[in-house]
Amino acid sequence: MANRKLKRMELPLTCLEALQRTKMMISKDVLVRTKTELVQQLDMNSNVIEHMIDTICKATCPQFKTAQALCVDDTRDRFMPTGLAPPT
C-alpha cells in the first residue's frame, strides 16, 4: 500500500509539482519524512504540508477496526440456528 503513486491521489497541482521536483513519486517517500523535513524540502506552508500528509494517509492506509468492532459486525452474518436452544 505504501507504494501508491502520488499522481493517483487527489493532491493539489502545486503539491504534485513540488513533490516531483524533489523526486518523491510514491506515498512511502512522503510518509517516511517528518513534517519539518517536508516543509524544508518542498518549501511550502506547514498547513499545506499537513493537509497533504492527511490526504496521502487517507488514500494509502487502510481503515482500522478494533477486534470488538469486527466481532459485532460479523455476529449477525455468522448466526446459524442449531435448534438446540430450549423451546420457549
pLDDT tens-place values along the chain, 88 residues long: 567 888 888 888 999 999 999 999 999 999 999 999 999 999 999 999 999 999 998 888 877 777 777 666 555 556 666 777 666 6
- SS3 state at 9: coil
Q: What is the rounded distance in angstroms from the CA atom of residue 25 to the CA atom of residue 71?
A: 38
- SS3 state at 5: strand
Residue that the C-alpha cell 513519486 belongs to = 25
**Can you give the pTM of this predicted structure?**
0.67
Domain 6-77 has CATH 1.10.150: yes
Q: Can you say how many angstroms the Cα of residue 9 is from the centroid of all Cα atoms in its chain?
A: 11
Residue 5: phi and psi, rounded to 5, are -75, 140
Closest CA to 16 of 45, 50, 42, 47: 42
